[in-house]
Amino acid sequence: MKYTFLSKWTVLILTVVTVLLVIAGYGLIGARTIGPVTFPSSGFGGTLLILLGLLVYAVAWIVGLADSIQERRWGWTVAMVILLPIWIGPLLYSLIGPRNTK
């Protein structure tokens, strides 16, 4: 049975959400101005956002891995496991990974 929520688009959206959460978290920790947004200093809130970002990233990695298995793209499955320590697997999978079939 194919699960439709397992797709490159899901992985891409989750990866973008991760980036936004981590940037906001670092902004809160350091009380910085990032672009037009000025963050107040909050170490706890920043740490919480970064941890939430890591959780979302883990979900993106699992969805990418499950999608590569579902699509029977074993090279991408191995690549997702190898790229796990480098933290770029879901991003590369969502941008240049295999097309989803129906």
Q: Is residue 7 helix, strand or coil?
A: coil
Query: Can you give the pLDDT at residue 17?
Result: 95
Instruction: Confirm whether 39 is domain-assigned.
Output: yes
Look at the chain and report how many structural domains it folds into: 1
Instruction: Confirm whether 2 is domain-assigned.
Output: no
**Which tokens go with 83?**
């790229």
Query: Which tops the pLDDT comparison, 60 or 39?
Result: 60
Distances (CA, A) of 52 to 1, 18, 28, 69, 81: 30, 8, 14, 26, 22
Instruction: Confirm whether 1 is domain-assigned.
Output: no
Report field, pTM of the whole predicted structure over 0.85? no
Mean pLDDT, residues 47-60: 94
**Which tokens go with 60?**
């993106």
Residue 69 pairs with which residues in a beta bridge? none
Instruction: Confirm whether 29 is domain-assigned.
Output: yes
Range of the domain at 52: 8-96
Helical H runs in the chain? 8-30, 43-70, 74-82, 89-96
- CA distance linking residue 48 with residue 61, whole number of Å: 20
